[in-house]
Amino acid sequence: MIGALHQLFHSNLDHSRFPSAERFAMSKALSEHILALNPPQGDGPKLRSYPAIARYYHENGNKDRAIELVELAIKSLDGPEPIPEQRKQHLLRNWLQTLANYKGEKVCYGAHCAVPHLEGAKARSEEEER
């Protein structure tokens, strides 16, 4: 399901041939299903799913929900799921950049901070999973 969301909203893909209404309808269904399986208050891993769902909400105009999901993903980095430190730092930097882009302001988490990139912010926010 997460892979399907990436296909529907990854900035490096051309979505012009895919009708917008269908793209958003499929993404809504996928997002709701993923969130039902792994709710925000649950302790399931949010590392891969929440940033992907956040892209859907952000592009759909629900900026507050997108911000909430990225913040939950960032907080999950400190959860019980073991993550190699190098991977954790990489994800944190990328998600902070995404969060700054979504909020339009400087954001910090611990010692790490990011400022929004207005030009190309969408493209950079897609780097989360790399």
Please report how the helices 20-37 and 2-9 are oriented relative to each other, as an axis angle in degrees rounded to 10.
150
Q: Which residue has the higher pLDDT, 30 or 19?
A: 30
* Domain enclosing residue 93, as ranges: 2-129
Q: Quote the number of domains for the chain.
A: 1
Identify the helix (H) or strand (E) that includes residue 13: none
Cα separation, 6 vs 24, whole angstroms: 13
Q: What is the pLDDT of residues 111-121, one digit of tens each?
A: 999 999 975 44
Dihedrals phi, psi of 46, to nearest 5 degrees: -115, 5
Fill in the DSSP letter of residue 110.
Answer: T
Residue 22 identity (one-letter amino acid): E
Q: What is the pLDDT of residues 36-75, one digit of tens each?
A: 988 888 777 777 788 889 988 998 999 999 999 999 999 9
Task: Return the SS3 of 58.
Answer: helix
| HSE, side-chain direction, 13 A CA sphere, residue 10 | 13
For residues 27-34, average pLDDT: 89
pTM, whole model, 2 decimals?
Answer: 0.79
